[in-house]
Structure 1
Amino acid sequence: MSITLDWQPRELTPDGAGVGASAQGLLELLGRLDVGALLADEKALVLRGFGITPETHGTAVDALLPRRLAYVHGNSPRTKVGDNVYTSTEYPAEFVISMHNEMSYSHTWPSRLLFFCEQAPESGGATPVVDGRLWLSTLDPEVRAAFAPGVRYVQNLHDGYGFGKSWQDTFETDDPSAVESFLTGTGAEWTWTPDGTLRISHLRPATTRHPVTGAEVWFNQADQFHHAGLGEHAAAVQELMSEDELPQAVTFADGSPIPAEYITHIQETGLALAVDVEWAPGDLLLIDNVLVGHGRRPFTGPRRVLVAMSD
């Protein structure tokens, strides 16, 4: 299978599909499609012009993601606003969120993500998406070879007070035994520190293959776990706490440090290859979470984009 250099998400509109510009029109369109096959082929779908509102959003989510997942073990700051529906992120508006596949650091991850624009920002705020095969093939061979054995992620999840996310928010429970049950069998190693912090370490691959197409893609979040991924704020964070105290960190599989220049190269390559999906109220973006990485551009003014996930 060749790599398409000019890949774009497939846009579906009421006019193009010959249906009404309404939630009912969207349901009519989806009834004609094999969404799974189309998504595996196109990688990402933009559903635009159907007039989806907060009141009809649930209908669209039910149709596109019949088996919604909770964001358990997720590391992004977000708020649950409905039945396994969340704010897409609460990361400060002025920062770029680098390209990534949701929860690729975990032993399981969602297969699909569905974004919904409830409120578009005054400027910026696009969701960039990148073809994971193209990302992998464009990375420097030296970087790909270094990551071939995998990456080791470390999380320090505090007990309610501290920097980063708590283990309660991360696992959506106040019960330590429920967390341990979740982690058992995942290949992770964990320990509870005297101050109630949960420290988790686990080795994961740097790439994976899509279960339908067989495409090998770049599939890790090393750059988001590495202090260098914080850009100009990296030095300030390192002054505040040691590497062992950071909310999240990452090394090569053997425990050796990942050079900062590798992280910069990974981030810059992903963002340079990305296609921006600009938002208007009511837009939906459905992505295959293995074939496509996503991020966020900085923005001004209020922005509200919701996300739901499914297996």
Structure 2
Amino acid sequence: MVGDREWSPLELTPNAIGVSPGPEGLVEYLAATDLREQLVKAKAIVFRDFRLSPRDLESKLDLFLPNRLAYVHGNSPRTKVGKNVYTSTEYPAEFTISMHNELSYSHHWPTRLLFFCEQAPAIGGATPVVDSTRWLAALDDDVRDAFRGGVRYTQNLHGGAGLGKSWQDTFETGKPDEVEEFLAQADASWVWKPDGGLRVSQLRPSTRKHPVTGDEVWFNQADQWHAAGLGDETAAALRAILPEEDLPQSVTFADGSPIPEEYVVQIRDRGLSNAVDVYWQAGDVLLVDNLLVGHGRRPFSGNRRVLVAMSD
């Protein structure tokens, strides 16, 4: 198991890069930097002490993410607050969100993520980030081998009332033909249910290779889609309400065989144990390469508002 902390995000401040403090100094730096190349080398970058306000961020976002993407087919609860800008995951503050690469279950995922801290929490609330190559290396050989064939994700999306997300919110449309077009392009299978809901099935690989570095990375959300990843009490409560095939989301190996619970717990725990926490200050920006770095969230108290945007 990998247990040291050899990697951490690159932290850039006005003093470190020799520019004036404030948004103008950040613009100066970004205009003169190949940010894409720098991000691949660093894997994640924290921009701190540039005194960015939410208004500053909106006007500067294109410098970080020139082609922002909508959060279509996302399974996490979020609120859209601007042009393809969203709140970060709106799970209750007392829960840890385990490590994951954004939309790794989808046919089209963002290559870069940007997080902006509008309001830092009073206590806790760090965003842990993990080198995805280290996450893969931290897993036992039998776990890695078991996942070689990939995984199959299943979603049950209600039509307006029910457990989990609706298909309208998930695909940001109320038109079934637009949903079907998206799913066809995604090489997914689907069926409309008599109650107006939608069941979607997708076969995806468990690892990917980075197009620039060639590194193989752990790149799936099996632990988050599996009931065991929620903890024993929550998993038992869900199974008491619904059979597994009717849960809002579930996952199996590619051939449909069940993934052992102990594999799921190992994946979750070793991702978190190899993560580095980024503690927020208001105005911070965290930029990550979504293939090379997984992210999550630590529990917190007090108000916390972190926004997220994505780019290909």
Match of 2:251 in 1: 250
Deviation at 1:21, TM superposition (A): 1.3
Match of 2:310 in 1: 309
- For the residues of structure 1 that align with 2:285 and 2:185, how far apart are their CA atoms? 35
Match of 2:291 in 1: 290
Matched, 1:78 2:59: no
- For the residues of structure 2 that align with 1:244 and 1:254, how far apart are their CA atoms? 15
Deviation string 1:129-154 (CA, Å, 9 cap, x unpaired) is: 00000110110000000000000000
The root-mean-square deviation of aligned C-alpha atoms, in Å, is 1.1
**Quick one: percent identity of the two aligned structures?**
64
Deviation at 1:59, TM superposition (A): 2.2
Deviation at 1:60, TM superposition (A): 2.6
Deviation at 1:294, TM superposition (A): 0.2
Matched, 1:200 2:200: yes
- For the residues of structure 2 that align with 1:73 and 1:153, how far apart are their CA atoms? 13
SS of corresponding position for 2:54: coil
SS of corresponding position for 2:38: helix
Residues 39-118 of structure 1: matches in 2 within 5 Å?
A: 39-118=39-118
Contact kept? 2:5, 2:276, Cα under 8 Å: no
Return 5+ residue gaps in structure 1 as ranges. none
Contact kept? 1:5, 1:134, Cα under 8 Å: no
SS of corresponding position for 1:181: helix
Residues 270-281 of structure 1: matches in 2 within 5 Å?
A: 270-281=271-282
Deviation at 1:245, TM superposition (A): 1.2
Match of 2:151 in 1: 151
2:188 is aligned with what amino acid?
A: A
Residues 105-254 of structure 1: matches in 2 within 5 Å?
A: 105-231=105-231, 232-254=233-255
2:225 is aligned with what amino acid?
A: F
Matched, 1:299 2:282: no
- For the residues of structure 1 that align with 2:218 and 2:60, how far apart are their CA atoms? 30
Return 5+ residue gaps in structure 2 as ranges. none
- For the residues of structure 2 that align with 1:290 and 1:60, how far apart are their CA atoms? 24
1:83 is aligned with what amino acid?
A: K
TM-score computed with the length of structure 2 as normaliser: 0.98
Which stretch of structure 1 is more off in the superposition, 178-187 or 118-127?
A: 178-187
Deviation at 1:17, TM superposition (A): 1.1
- For the residues of structure 2 that align with 1:244 and 1:257, how far apart are their CA atoms? 12
Deviation at 1:262, TM superposition (A): 0.4
SS of corresponding position for 2:70: coil
Deviation string 1:192-239 (CA, Å, 9 cap, x unpaired) is: 010011100011000000111111000000011000011131111111
Deviation string 1:54-84 (CA, Å, 9 cap, x unpaired) is: 1101123121001000000001000000000
Which stretch of structure 1 is more off in the superposition, 235-244 or 148-157?
A: 235-244
1:189 is aligned with what amino acid?
A: S
Deviation at 1:5, TM superposition (A): 5.0
Contact kept? 2:121, 2:303, Cα under 8 Å: yes
- For the residues of structure 2 that align with 1:257 and 1:219, how far apart are their CA atoms? 19
1:14 is aligned with what amino acid?
A: P
Contact kept? 1:124, 1:300, Cα under 8 Å: yes
- For the residues of structure 2 that align with 1:110 and 1:163, how far apart are their CA atoms? 27
- For the residues of structure 2 that align with 1:67 and 1:205, how far apart are their CA atoms? 26
How many residues are matched?
A: 309
Matched, 1:262 2:232: no
Contact kept? 1:189, 1:202, Cα under 8 Å: yes
Contact kept? 2:43, 2:293, Cα under 8 Å: yes
Q: Which runs of 4+ in 1 moved over 6 A?
A: none
Which stretch of structure 1 is more off in the superposition, 136-145 or 228-237?
A: 228-237
2:84 is aligned with what amino acid?
A: N
1:259 is aligned with what amino acid?
A: P
SS of corresponding position for 1:55: helix
SS of corresponding position for 2:294: strand
TM-score computed with the length of structure 1 as normaliser: 0.98
